Amino acid sequence: MNLGEIAKLLDAEVLVGESCLGVSVSSAFVADLMSDVLAYAKPGSILITGLISQQILRTADLLDITAVVMGGGKKPSPEVLRLAKELDIPLITSKFILFEIAGRLYSQGIRGCIEKVED
């Protein structure tokens, strides 16, 4: 799926990165703990989160995350929007909860970065 299709599926608003809507994505990671994102997310995936801080964008930039999808209809501050533009990271917000976002994406073939944590 590309980011435009994802935004449509999630009835989402693209806050930053409308020029990137044609970028294809095949994996995603859901987390609010940035330590989990750092440990398990993969480059090229999308990050689904309930957080709206600059730290999410810094982490996404570090890991080469394709886009950040925020659940619960949250709207970030102007500072966060500016940073997303500066880092060229698409920022999408959906009113669906994180579980619903993940389920909708999974049903359309988007898979998680990992299936389970190994010992």
Take residue 110 and report the two structure tokens written for it: 């988007």
- Mean pLDDT rounded to a whole number for the chain: 95
Q: What is the pLDDT of residues 72-111, one digit of tens each?
A: 999 999 999 999 999 999 999 999 999 999 999 999 999 9
Of 106, 20, 91, 23, the C-alpha closest to 61 is 91
Take residue 94 and report the two structure tokens written for it: 């959906």
Take residue 34 and report the two structure tokens written for it: 């940035």
Q: What is the pLDDT of residues 46-78, one digit of tens each?
A: 999 999 999 999 999 999 999 999 999 999 999
User: What pLDDT band is residue 114 in, cutting at 50, 70 and 90?
Assistant: confident
Chain centroid to Cα 39, Å, comes to 16
Q: Are strands 91-93 and 13-16 parallel, antiparallel or unpaired?
A: antiparallel
pLDDT of residue 115: 84
Q: Distance (Å, rounded) from C-alpha 6 to C-alpha 9?
A: 5
Residue 119 has pLDDT above 80, yes or no: no
Assign 106 to helix, strand or coil.
Answer: helix
